[in-house]
Amino acid sequence: MLRDVIIIGSGCAGNTAAIYTARANLKPLVIAGHEPGGQLSLTTLVENFPGFPEGIDGPALVENIKKQAEHFGAEYLHGTVVEANLSKRPFRLKVDNEWHEARTLIIASGASARWLNLPNEQKLIGHGVSSCATCDGFFYRGKQIMVIGGGDTAMEEANFLTRFGEKVALVHRRDAFRASKIMLERVLNNPKIELLTNTVVDDVYDASQNLVTKVKLRNVKTGETWERSVDGFFVAIGHIPNTAPFVGQIELDPDGYVISKGGARTSVTGVFQAGDVQDRTYRQAITASGAGCMAAIEAERFLEAEGH
């Protein structure tokens, strides 16, 4: 069946695009992907999405957006886009083993945070382990915070988190930093930040309490290990945009993020993007939702102009 719109991804961006395209009577199909609900499904309390004065659990928020889209006729398909042919219209997508066709596409496949793959890390995401200082810093007022990483993002997050934490320990596996000189200097001049170089984290605890309480650290030069009390554990080692099926099909930057050609447009006419898959700056639920709205309006106007 040839669709007017297929939306790739069921996070805030994809689900919001689904509300708008469904209300425009375009009967969108949303491919949910390996992580239905997207990154918000990993977290607990979200306090910065407008409209919820007491905050709302991440999974509930994204499920509500999905229900709102379904209410207007959006359809969801469990599956992952593994291959795409965007060289001519209609566009073709292989979802697991089946090909689907659409006049327009909205790529809202997000960018997954890189994790350290520690034995207990995944169990504690949303319970002290985070990849987003803007999102979760506020929960650690007066607490002990640890940031992992050696690039600009880690420096920025460590500096930002000193607004909340009593102390911020910045852990980096080498003694040289990828971060720019100016960002590193800000860290070095911040009295609330302690640098732990040549150090890696072996694990984070305590999954049995469902709460981060401490980490096990190891000096890579001496082999010495020790434990340290921590309340908030922020992993800032980058993101991986989920664009593998589109490599060679649309313009991506060297890290794999979709390049915007103005608003929600991409290098391929009729293919639009929304959310973290294009955004390496803001990475918030509200910006992803806003981008989903933009992509949906673009898709609708494109179809209208083409007489559909």
Concatenate the DSSP letters of all residues of 5-36 into one string: EEEE--SHHHHHHHHHHHHTT---EEE--SST
Q: Is 65 in the site for ligand FAD (CB under 6 A)?
A: no
Token pair in block for residue 235:
């992993």
Q: Is 46 in the site for ligand FAD (CB under 6 A)?
A: yes
Q: Is 130 in the site for ligand FAD (CB under 6 A)?
A: yes
Q: Is 69 in the site for ligand FAD (CB under 6 A)?
A: no
How far is residue 147's CA from residue 187's CA, in Å, rounded to a whole number?
A: 12
Our CB check for ligand FAD shows the closer of 28 and 110 to be 110
* Cis amide linkage into residue 90, ω under 30° from 0: yes
How far is residue 257's CA from residue 282's CA, in Å, rounded to a whole number?
A: 14
How far is residue 150's CA from residue 218's CA, in Å, rounded to a whole number?
A: 16
Options 21, 109, 159, 199; binder of ligand FAD; rule CB under 6 A: 109
**What is the distance in angstroms between the CA of the first residue and the CA of the last residue of the chain?**
15
Catalytic residue among 136, 231, 276, 279: 136
Q: Is 145 in the site for ligand FAD (CB under 6 A)?
A: no
Q: Is 295 in the site for ligand FAD (CB under 6 A)?
A: no
Residue whose tokens read 């002290």: 128
Is 135 assigned a catalytic role?
yes
Which of the stretches 29-37, 65-73, 165-173, 222-230 binds ligand FAD when contact is defined by CB under 6 A?
Answer: 29-37
Is 175 assigned a catalytic role?
no
| Contact set with ligand FAD (CB under 6 A) | 8-14, 31-36, 38-40, 42-43, 46, 48-49, 80-81, 108-110, 113, 125-126, 130-132, 135, 242, 245, 275-276, 283-286, 288
